[in-house]
Amino acid sequence: MSSGANDSVSRRETLAATGTPVLPARVSAPVHRRPAIMQEPVLVLNATFEPINVTAVRRAMVLLLKGVAQAEETNHSEIHSARRAVRVPSVIRLLAYRHIPQQTRALSRKNILLRDRNTCQFCVRVFSASELTLDHVVPRSRGGRSSWENLVACCYQCNNRKGDRTPEEAGIKLARRPRPFTLYTSRQLMRLIGHRDEKWRKYLFY
């Protein structure tokens, strides 16, 4: 592979780690896959130590092995390749500074559930992803759009109760007004995850 191709792959993977949408690339990971560990969250810092995203261990390992990032914190688990054992990263830092524009995410079911923390926005109960659907606050039959401001996570029971009505008509209330997924939302989610991993806290609570 040429140096130009290597640069292209590295750039695509770095953009993916910082939350920038990119087309999927086929990258062969030089380590044996262990699905549970490879999907664990890793905090991504900019070169300035500013937290910018959360990615999965698999993507973080690719960035480390390509020299795009370095591990700032590791956990006790290891991933074994044919020649060596590699400590699983908990926090990584990009070696080159990346300008992060005002962060937004693609409008999708996954991101709506992430924004709403898998919580039904009517009964305020936490569910698994398979137990939730999306509800149009203003029904589509009334001109309601599929947008960040009009879609919320909703359990099936509340969805059936609301039906093709507005919350006011159904006699139920929204837990919070739906908003776009912004940098502020991302930081809040990072802090939420950071409560479970003490290694993240010094980068998030300052």
Q: How confident is the model at residue 41, as a pLDDT?
A: 86
Return d(Cα 25, Cα 167) in angstroms, integer. Answer: 42
Q: How confident is the model at residue 198, as a pLDDT?
A: 81
Low-confidence ranges of the chain (pLDDT < 50): 2-3, 5-6, 8-9, 20-33, 206
Residue 189, Cβ neighbours under 10 Å: how many?
16
Where in the chain are all domains bearing CATH 1.10.30.50?
A: 109-170
Q: How confident is the model at residue 77, as a pLDDT?
A: 81
The CATH number of the structural domain formed by 109-170 is 1.10.30.50
Q: What pLDDT digit, counting tens, does each position of 69-127 carry?
A: 999 999 878 877 777 788 899 999 999 999 876 656 778 898 888 889 889 999 999 99
Whether the pTM exceeds 0.75: the reply is: no
CA distances from 6 to 11, 77, 155 (A): 9, 29, 45
Note whether 125 and 155 are within 8 A (CB): yes
